[in-house]
Amino acid sequence: GVKTGTYEDTWLSTTEWRRAASFLDSHVARSQVGEEHYRVSDGSSGRFLDLIMQFIEPIPSLDTMTESDWRIRRDKLEGVDCIRVARGPEGPNGELETGHSNVYWFDSKNLLLKAYISGLEIQFRNPQPFGGIQFARKILILKDGKGAMVVNIKDITAPKAISAASFKMKGHEWQRAFTAETR
C-alpha cells in the first residue's frame, strides 16, 4: 500500500538552514548554522530518507567539484529543447552510464525537468510558482524504467519567524566528508 512521509525544509540563507524528513519509524535531519553542520538519523529507513532529500533538492553544491568535471550541451527531452548538464562516464556517442553519472535536463526557463542520480531517473512534474520560483509538485522516481516512488508536494509555505539558533542540534555535530553532503 501507499505509505506517507513528511519533508520540511526551512531556509534562511546559504549558511542557515534545516532539512528534515520522516517516514514510518525513521527521522533524518540536517542543518547548518554558520560553519557548523549537524546531522541526526534514527530508525531503519535513514538511508531511504537521505535519498528523498537528494531527490527533492538534487543539484549538488557548487563547490563540490571543478567546472571542468561537468559537460554541457543542447539536447531534446520528450520534444522539448533543453540543456543537459552531466558529469561521469559517457560513451563515444554521448550515451551516459546512468548508474555512474549525474545528469540534469533544464528547459529554456531554467526549470529542472529530469535528472539521473544514483542510477535512478527522477522526473519533476506539475511545476507551480511560489515566491517567484517554480517548484515541482510531483517527483517521479524510476528504477530501470519502472516506477519506484512518487513524491507529492502537498504544501509549500513561507517559514514563520525563526532564529537560526534553533537549527543547532546539540550532540549531533557533524563533520562532512564531502561538500555535496550539505545538500
Following DSSP, what letter does each residue of 93-120 receive, concatenated?
Answer: TS-B-TTT-EEEEEETT--EEEEEETTE
Per the CB < 8 A criterion, the answer to whether 90 and 26 are in contact is no
Per the CB < 8 A criterion, the answer to whether 40 and 172 are in contact is yes
pLDDT digit string (tens) for the chain, length 183 residues: 777 888 888 888 888 989 898 988 899 998 999 989 898 989 988 888 887 777 777 665 544 445 557 888 899 999 999 999 888 877 777 677 766 788 899 999 889 999 988 788 999 999 998 888 888 899 999 988 898 888 888 888 887 788 888 888 887 888 766 545 544
